[in-house]
Amino acid sequence: MTKKLDTKNETKNDEKREDNIIESLESYIHTGNEHYDSYSLEFLCEVLQSGLFENPEISMKVYSESLDKFEDLSENPIQALNNFNKELENQKFTKEQQLFICTWLHKYLRNTEYESLDLSSISKLIKAQKEKLESENTTPNTFAKNIRETLKALIQKEIESLPTNLKSLEPDKRISILCKLIPFVLPKIESVHYEVDEKDKQSGGIDWANLLK
């Protein structure tokens, strides 16, 4: 009986937590400011689609509170950036998560006009941080992939122009190049050898029937 009560209480607590999270998220996209609400909704949709954040509410909270603090410290952009970075560290966001937040903050600041505030300096600082994170998130694998794709496109282009280029060569040079290219097109022919052992010699030859089994 006790276990059943505990299970029911846990279920109720889980449902209550979910309701609180939903209510909190709703509050970020229904502030009464149509411009802000539209960006917040876009941000939330991207958060859910990307799957970068285990708890969407935390990312939404950081995004919203950062914009509020940027307004409060509009005359102290460096201090605003420093506080923002401390918050990212406190949340223990990965580089990829930080880049996501910075990208959306810069997007909002770049496309928002404030009546009595100048947030252009903060916008530039956030943009610089975004670009720094982008360069850090360019992994060696991505770099190598880009090189492979470039080489692949270059080789494909050369192959397409090969017939024209060959026609411009002297016959002997053209034949020489074709001979070098043949191994890449036709399989190499190898000779097959069979050694006759002593048993074969004594039996008077090869037992072809068994050989083909």
Q: Give the pair of three-digit tokens for residue 4.
A: 């059943």
User: Half-sphere exposure (CA, 13 Å, Cβ side) for 4?
Assistant: 1
Are the C-beta atoms of 13 and 19 separated by less than 8 Å? no
Torsion, CA 83, CA 87, CA 90, CA 91, rounded to 10: -170
Distance of CA 89 to the CA centre of its chain: 22
Q: What residues in the chain have per-residue pLDDT under 50? A: 213
Report the distance separating Cα 209 and Cα 213, nearest Å. 7
**Residue 189 DSSP label:** P
pLDDT (0 to 100) of residue 201: 52
What lies within 8 Å, CB to CB, of 133 at 6+ separation is: 95, 98, 99, 102
pLDDT (0 to 100) of residue 14: 66
∠ CA 15-20-24, nearest 5°, is 150
